[in-house]
Amino acid sequence: MPDTHEAPPTEREQHVLTAPVSTTSIATRSRTLSDSVPTTFGERVRDSIRYTRGRGALEIGIIFLAVLIGFIIAGLVAPNDFPFLAPSNLSGVISQSIPVLALLGIAAGILMIAGEFDLSLGANLGFSAIVFIRVSEEIGWGWGVAAALGSGIGIALVNGLIVVVTKIPSFIATLGMGFFWVGASFFVNGTAPAILSGAKDDVLTTLFVGDFGVFRMQLVWLLIMGVVGWLFLHRHKLGNHIFAVGGNAQAAKAISINPGRVKLLAFGIFGGLVAFAAILIAVRTNSMQPGSTVDYTLMAIAAAVVGGTSLLGGRGSIIGMIIGAALIRIIENGLILAKAPGFYIQLFVGLIIVVAAIFNKLMEGKAS
């Protein structure tokens, strides 16, 4: 010990630090962490499964696979009664309805990880689609795409600013703004749907809804966005900040992360993804009726929740959000193929959401 001020211990302090204060006590640990660092490939796989357990995606992925296998068997056994494997059905579900909901699920999910909601998602989607169609028809679809992205991101950033500056709950702020943007859609467009016709050329069609037989362009976009989204959320430092702020904003702030700025970033990404989904929908349907997209709000949040995203922030994964959207859409598809009446679909999708949320809550306790 280099210090010279070691006074003889008084009676009272003697029992406190019996061992001399010295760095040798540091080395007395029985088992070190580095002993349990995985070295072989097999160990590494086991390690990563262990630490993905309870974080959402793994469990829901297994359920999704089970449903999928069941549907495939049913499709093979009774191809006429349950034409799940018919190319037209597969291409419609896998390449069209899943990707759009998955992109919206990712949008809602990233924002939820940051600890915020945007209940104006459906309104933003409809408004941005109308902006896309109107601008495309006026001056060409290149401008239309840019304008839609501007409108989607702009609307989301306004929501973000309201939430960050006034500190009112995003639930209330975006609920209000949702009504506002539905109203605004009618205001700019009137009650008749906006129609995409003259501006739709081959390039636009191929780019956003191109049909390649087994798959369509929407699926390609989902794969691209999924990989980019994964790299951003799970591997980029800004993604790490989103988790930190949603998990414990006070802690993030104490380590010099600015929670307001991170939340605005999450709102901006949300807006961009919503605008992109709006373009995919508009190009496929060639039209947009004001007020017709409101249902997407809760469907997107449901996809995120089913995929293991926490309603309290700080927890979720891109792969989980995609699987959540896929599970909802595939069960919906199964019910339609089984010719279940329309209300069955609502009923079952509603149940899945609740069951998945309960399931996720249970798994959360198992996370290590």
Partner 1 sequence: MTETTAITEELLRVEGVTKRYGANTVLDDVSFTIGRNEVVGLLGDNGAGKSTLVKIMSGVVPMTQGAYFWEGTRYDGIDRQKTEELGVETIFQDSALVPQMSITRNIFMGREITNPLGLMKMREMDRITTEILDTVVTIEGIKSAKQLVGSLSGGQAQAVAIARAVHFKRSLLILDEPTSALAVRATEALLAYLRQLKGEGVSSVLVTHNLHHAYEVCDRHIVMNHGRKILDVRREETSVEELTAAVVEGAVGVERFRAGTF
Binding residues for partner 1, rule: CB under 8 A, are: 1-3, 5, 7, 10, 12-13, 16-17, 19, 21-23, 25-26, 28-34, 36-37, 47-48, 51, 231, 235-238, 240-241, 243-244, 247-248, 250-257, 310, 314-315, 367-368
Q: In 3-state terms, what secondary structure has residue 106?
A: helix
In the bound state with partner 1, the residue whose beta carbon lies nearer, of 48 and 346, is 48
In the bound state with partner 1, the residue whose beta carbon lies nearer, of 240 and 289, is 240
In the bound state with partner 1, the residue whose beta carbon lies nearer, of 41 and 343, is 41
Q: Is 248 exposed, middle or buried (0-12, 13-18, 19+ CB in 10 A)?
A: middle
**Gap between the Cα atoms of 175 and 119, Å rounded:** 5
**Gap between the Cα atoms of 317 and 360, Å rounded:** 13
Count the neighbouring beta carbons within 10 Å of the beta carbon of residue 327: 25
Q: In 3-state terms, what secondary structure has residue 288?
A: strand
Q: Are 240 and 120 in contact (CB under 8 A)?
A: no
In the bound state with partner 1, the residue whose beta carbon lies nearer, of 5 and 167, is 5
Q: How far is the CB of 15 from partner 1 (least distance, A)?
A: 9
Q: How far is the CB of 91 from partner 1 (least distance, A)?
A: 34
What angle, rounded to 10 degrees, do the helices at 98-113 and 318-337 form?
140
Q: How far is the CB of 221 from partner 1 (least distance, A)?
A: 22
In the bound state with partner 1, the residue whose beta carbon lies nearer, of 113 and 182, is 113
In the bound state with partner 1, the residue whose beta carbon lies nearer, of 11 and 202, is 11
Q: Which two tokens stand for residue 240?
A: 């790490």
- Enclosing H/E stretch for 145: helix 141-166
Q: How far is the CB of 39 from partner 1 (least distance, A)?
A: 12
Q: Are 50 and 368 in contact (CB under 8 A)?
A: yes
Q: How far is the CB of 13 from partner 1 (least distance, A)?
A: 5
What angle, rounded to 10 degrees, do the helices at 296-306 and 98-113 form?
70
Q: Which two tokens stand for residue 138?
A: 């006026």
Q: How far is the CB of 27 from partner 1 (least distance, A)?
A: 8
